[in-house]
Structure 1
Amino acid sequence: MSHAKKKPNVLFILIDDLGWKDLGCYGSTFYETPHLDRLAAEGMRFTDAYAAAPVCSPTRASLMSGKYPANVGVTNYIGGQTEGRLIDAPYIRHLPLQEKSVASALQEHGYKTWHVGKWHLGGRDHYPDRHGFDVNIGGCSWGMPMHGFFSPYGIETLEEGPDGEYLTDRLTDEAIRLIRQHDADEPFFLNLWHYAVHIPIEVSEALVERFAAKAQALGLDRLEAFAEGEPFPCEHKKHLRVQRRILQSDPAYAAMIYNLDWNIGRLIDALRETNRLDDTVIVFTSDNGGLATAEGSPTCNSPLQEGKGWMYEGGVREPLIVRWPGVVEPGSVCEIPVTSPDFYPTLLEIARVNLLPEQHEDGISFVPLLKGEDSPGRDALFWHYPHYGNQGGTPGSSVREGDYKLIEFFEDGRLELYNLREDLSEAFNIAEQQPERTEQLHRKLCEWRERIEAKIPEVNERSTVERPSSF
């Protein structure tokens, strides 16, 4: 096969719970990510890239299907079931087999398809091998390493390593092995979905000590890292209060990110050493915002508000870097919003495969943006998360049109409107000042929910969580 006709390889790297500001190239001054910063310098960095949901499984289903989570039916992290003032909305607990995944579409056009890492899209009958992947290493029903990041892992689709082996290192080793053993004449789609940086926050003690010393040298260890907030709105945590991290200073989390960055550097080196780097499109992003308000609150997403599990920007705005040699201008920055369903048609177009609009009906290819051309036409972006998570957020929906974002909270019907260009932190609700825009966006959001038959949570008469007076 001639070089000119060869389809590009695709390396899609998805990180778990990585926040928008968790990389040096996105503004972190405590975490160190030299390899990812170099990737951004060699590719395009997106400022307004979004996950389709503030938790993992819905975003993953959206990436695989090209649809919004509410359109697939997977709206919560699979296994989640919580109640508060509202009853948890029903959702599908697997990626339906009738959804033709992006892996299946690429597989049909000559791609070798490999999944390495976290899956969390259903049980054995819905594992990656049932969704178009030739290889599945480490993908199972788990949403986190249930026995920790050090071997023995207990993951049924991953052969145990020596005691004490680190999971992020091992998954990277597996990805490198696939690349080195692959026939160079066939294009590959490597779907590397790391379990990091999800809890438990675990990494080698030597790295933790390195960042503990850095925190001390910067004086971060002498600053208050948390602000205690309101009681949790869900029944199972109503006796606890939200703990908001207000600065990036956790040495263990910094060490975990540093290790992740080092492993991505190793993977890129393997592509270079096998003469595949210039024939490979690398995509790097995250499945939801950084964990900032609960479960140890290891990171801070400021200037974005809140984090994982919330409808605010901290819950859904993500880092996104794309390196495409010969197409993407090195060091370029894109400020046009893109979202999870867009990856499906984008990857098909990159692979020179005919689009499947009946499948990826909510996605729009952003290849024109990668080429430095005008934005593809898009009316608005939508989110629907009718659940209580574990982080303090409440059920709601939202829509972004242009610079404006409207959020509807289902507990009390409250509407909040923000101009993200002027108010990135969503500090000033301008719904009352702009009633016409608020009404227009709310109408658009309601029409979208009705069109896709989105599930709305009902009032929970059994709730013992105190209701606000406006409920």
Structure 2
Amino acid sequence: MMKRKKTWVKWARSISVIVLGLGICGAAEPKKPNVVVFLVDDLGYMDIGANNPDCFYETPNVDHLAKSGMRFTDGYAANPVCSPTRFSLMTGRYPTRVRATNFFSGDRSGKFNPAPLVDNMPLDEVTIAQTLKSAGYATFFAGKWHLGETEEYYPQNRGFDVNIGGYHRGGPYTGKRYFPPFKNPQMEDKPGDKHLPDRLADETVAFIEASKGKPFFAYLSFYSVHTPLMGRPDLVKKYKAKAKKITGQEFGKEEQVFGKKERKVREIQKHAVYAAMVEAMDEAVGKVLGHLEEAGLADNTIVMFTSDNGGLSTSEGSPTSNLPLRGGKGWIYEGGIREPWIVRYPGVTKAGAVSGENICSIDLFPTLAAAAGAQVEHEIDGVDLMPALKGEPLEGRALFWHYPHYSNQGGIPGGAIRVGDFKLVERYEDGRVHLYNLKDDIEEQNDLAAKHPERVSQMRARLHEWYKSVDAQFLQQKKDGPKPWSP
């Protein structure tokens, strides 16, 4: 009897240990994923090999990222110029909600004055850095900011523990910007500095290394490939030789704007300096990705790669071609708003996956907040991309654009809505509309508005409802000038 009792006690204790162990395991929180975001300034959709098999620029590291994650063919920026899109990435909200609808502080006028512009990210906006920080993340920013002129608006006061190089315009526009001395008030020069993209990558790697043991959020916002056009001499030499083999018409014409002659638009990629800037950016991306692998962090790190607007094709040197996409930076055509979008989410995305879902920069915030298990208790416009990342559809999706300005690159003031394959463009000077089926006509050359009046009416009504919901502002009358159109 005593022997049986001892056996029973021993068995009961064993069960207790197992149950307790299961309880502890069940109560343990899953490990939060790290996050690395690469934002490239002015990089066009066709500027990476993953999107363009005939790309003049060599981007092996970005292409490898696409092969190891999911590439989106229909990913967008919320605006055709930088600051508004940067606002949307930080907040998950359309920039029109706060009237941050042009680069800070762009006030060019044309036939009419532009809409009123707020040229900062208001201090009451909640950023993705603040949200992830509240969820236990170490947060880091490096590179171009351009979301407010004074220090209270800088990254270190908007949720980032570390700010390397981020302030108002991201650097004085001097001939030394990409090479030392960098003359950046938020980043001291260091002995051994050679090239800005490489320095920013090194700082990002150092932050990742210092954050081991704690989930981290690293936001590497390149100054590249924005003007001034300056490339590493070795890479410029390489691409000059490569460009000699390319023939054909370099420039074509975009539509007539502002009552002036047509804008010339680059049709062939062969700009050696721009190519050197793209490849140097790619090398910097490779340095960060390589460190994630070497440190054993890649399998628990979400990586996102995108741009803030389309490639610069109609102004300021016109260094790249976005064809077959129409227009470029500063235009609400596809060349100005369709961006490279790559997401690698270990355990969710499949290697080499390609998605045709319509996504936008407003979606970064809710996607990362959900991945981190962070609470979002304020109004946002984006959606968690988890269904799309799993290969599922995003139901009932419509995207909107609002650009009530005359862009430096010649783009017209206008708005747009995309629903499914169809995109409606509305001009703010006179209210004319154009309808395109992007599945059949990615070049936006075949206007279907006259053939589909009912679809135009439906999409226009939905666009106008959105204008009201975000309190959109429009072109303003000049003194003694004609009255502008308004919806």
TM-score (norm: length of structure 2): 0.89
Task: Give the aligned CA root-mean-square deviation in angstroms.
Answer: 2.2
Report the counterpart of residue 379 of structure 2 in structure 1: 359
Q: Percent identity?
A: 45
Report the counterpart of residue 175 of structure 1 in structure 2: 204
Look up the equivalent residue of 2:162 and give its one-letter code.
Answer: V
Moved over 6 A (4+): 1-4
CA distance in 1, matches of 2:82, 2:34: 25
Deviations 1:169-204 (A, max 9, x none): 11111111111222x221000011000000111111
Query: Pick from 289, 305, 319: which aligns with 1:298?
Result: 319
> 1:149-298 to 2 correspondence within 5 Å?
149-162=178-191, 165-182=194-211, 184-216=212-244, 219-220=245-246, 222-228=247-253, 233=258, 242-298=263-319
TM-aligned CA deviation for residue 244 of structure 1? 0.7
Q: Identify which range, 389-398 or 451-460, moves more after superposition.
A: 451-460
Q: Secondary structure at the match of 1:288?
A: coil
Query: Pick from 327, 331, 341: which aligns with 2:362?
Result: 341
Q: Secondary structure at the match of 2:293?
A: helix
Contact persistence 2:254–2:327 (CA under 8 A): no
Q: Secondary structure at the match of 1:174?
A: helix
CA distance in 2, matches of 1:153, 1:163: 12
Deviations 1:140-193 (A, max 9, x none): 0015652221111211101123587211111111111111222x2210000110
Deviations 1:57-97 (A, max 9, x none): 00000111111110132111001110001101111111011
Query: Which ranges of structure 1 fall in alignment gaps of 5 or more residues?
Result: none
The 3 A distance-change label for structure 1 pair 462 and 84 is farther
The 3 A distance-change label for structure 1 pair 436 and 231 is closer
- The aligned length equals 455
Q: Secondary structure at the match of 1:284?
A: strand
Look up the equivalent residue of 1:344 and give its one-letter code.
Answer: F
Query: Which ranges of structure 2 fall in alignment gaps of 5 or more residues?
Result: 1-23
Report the counterpart of residue 76 of structure 2 in structure 1: 50
Report the counterpart of residue 167 of structure 2 in structure 1: 140
CA distance in 2, matches of 1:462, 1:151: 50
CA distance in 1, matches of 2:403, 2:350: 36
Query: Pick from 407, 410, 418: which aligns with 1:392?
Result: 410
Deviations 1:36-60 (A, max 9, x none): 1111000000000000000000000
CA distance in 1, matches of 2:171, 2:384: 30
Report the counterpart of residue 434 of structure 1 in structure 2: 452
CA distance in 2, matches of 1:136, 1:202: 24
Contact persistence 2:144–2:221 (CA under 8 A): yes
CA distance in 2, matches of 1:327, 1:212: 41
Look up the equivalent residue of 1:376 and give its one-letter code.
Answer: L
TM-aligned CA deviation for residue 375 of structure 1? 2.1
The 3 A distance-change label for structure 1 pair 433 and 112 is same
Q: Secondary structure at the match of 2:464?
A: helix
Contact persistence 2:70–2:389 (CA under 8 A): yes
1:109 and 2:135 matched:
yes
Report the counterpart of residue 387 of structure 2 in structure 1: 368
Larger radius of gyration: 2
Q: Identify which range, 164-173 or 67-76, moves more after superposition.
A: 164-173
CA distance in 1, matches of 2:315, 2:481: 22
Contact persistence 2:44–2:307 (CA under 8 A): yes
1:59 and 2:88 matched:
no
Report the counterpart of residue 463 of structure 2 in structure 1: 445
Deviations 1:8-38 (A, max 9, x none): 1000111100000100010143111111111
TM-aligned CA deviation for residue 378 of structure 1? 3.2
CA distance in 2, matches of 1:371, 1:441: 29
Q: Identify which range, 270-279 or 47-56, moves more after superposition.
A: 270-279
TM-aligned CA deviation for residue 232 of structure 1? 5.3
Deviations 1:419-442 (A, max 9, x none): 011111101111111111111111
Q: Identify which range, 67-76 or 162-171, moves more after superposition.
A: 162-171
